[in-house]
C-alpha cells in the first residue's frame, strides 16, 4: 500500500519544483545522433532545490529476473515520505553491462517522471517532433555541393564531394538521405552499373 503524501513534504516539494533547473542535454546518443540529458544532468537539475527545501532523494532498486526495477522516493526532514511508484526496465543483455545500462536508464526515467522534468528534446521525442525543429542547413550551399557530386569523374572525387555534402547536412536526416541517394546514383554511373 502506498504511503499517503503528508502536508509538509507536499508543500516543500511544490517549492522545490519551482526552483528546478533545466536537465541539460550534454550527452549524445550514438545510434540516433541525438542529444539527451543523462542521469547526472537530471539529478543536477533537481538536487539543490530539493535539498534547499528539506527533501532528500532516494532511488530504491528491487529484484527482477529480466531487468531492473527502480522506485524514486523523496524523504522530507519531517520524516514524511513521497513514494513515486516502481519502474521496470528489461535488460537488453543478461550480463553486467546490460543490467548496468538498464539501471541507469530506469533511474533517469523514474526521476524525470517523479519530478515532472521533461527535457526539451528527449531522445524518445526528437524523431516525432523533427518537423517542428528549424533547419540549420544552408540549403543553397548544400545544393551546390550536391550538384558538384554530379560533376566528378572518379570514385575518389565522388568520395571527397560526398564527404563535404554530408557534413553540410548538419545531421538532418532528410538531407542526409538525399545526399546518400545522390552519391549512390553517381557511384552506379561511374561504375557503369
Q: How many CA atoms lie within 13 A of 97 on its CB side?
A: 1
The pLDDT tens digits for 141-162 are: 888 888 888 888 898 898 888 8
pLDDT band at 19 (very low <50, low <70, confident <90, very high): confident
pTM over the 0.85 mark:
no
Q: Cα separation of 105 and 78, whole Å?
A: 30
DSSP β-bridge partners for residue 69: 62, 88
* b/e sequence 140-155, b meaning 16+ C-beta within 10 Å: eebeebbebbeebeee
Per DSSP, the residues of 122-141 read -TTTTTTTGGGSPP---HHH
The pLDDT tens digits for 73-90 are: 999 999 999 999 999 999
pLDDT band at 7 (very low <50, low <70, confident <90, very high): very high
Mean pLDDT over 124-130 rounds to 42
| Cell numbers linked to 27 | 550527452
34 vs 128: which has the higher pLDDT? 34
Amino acid at each position: 500500500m502506498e504511503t499517503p503524501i503528508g502536508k509538509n513534504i507536499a508543500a516543500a516539494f511544490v517549492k522545490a519544483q519551482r526552483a528546478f533547473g533545466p536537465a541539460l542535454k550534454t550527452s549524445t546518443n550514438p545510434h540516433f545522433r541525438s542529444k539527451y540529458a543523462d542521469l547526472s544532468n537530471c539529478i543536477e537539475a533537481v538536487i539543490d532545490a530539493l535539498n534547499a527545501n528539506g527533501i532528500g532523494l532516494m532511488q530504491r532498486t528491487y529484484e527482477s529476473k529480466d531487468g531492473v526495477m527502480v522506485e524514486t522516493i523523496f524523504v522530507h526532514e519531517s520524516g514524511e515520505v513521497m513514494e513515486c511508484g516502481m519502474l521496470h526496465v528489461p535488460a537488453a543483455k543478461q550480463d553486467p553491462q546490460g543490467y548496468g545500462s538498464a539501471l541507469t536508464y530506469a533511474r533517469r526515467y523514474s526521476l524525470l517522471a517523479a519530478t515532472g522534468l521533461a527535457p526539451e528534446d528527449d531522445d524518445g521525442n526528437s524523431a516525432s517532433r523533427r518537423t517542428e525543429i528549424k533547419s540549420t542547413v544552408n540549403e543553397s550551399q548544400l545544393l551546390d555541393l550536391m550538384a558538384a557530386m554530379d560533376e566528378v569523374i572518379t570514385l575518389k572525387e565522388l568520395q571527397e564531394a560526398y564527404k563535404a555534402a554530408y557534413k553540410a547536412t548538419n545531421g538532418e536526416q532528410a538531407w542526409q538521405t538525399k545526399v546518400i541517394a545522390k552519391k549512390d546514383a553517381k557511384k552506379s554511373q561511374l561504375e557503369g552499373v
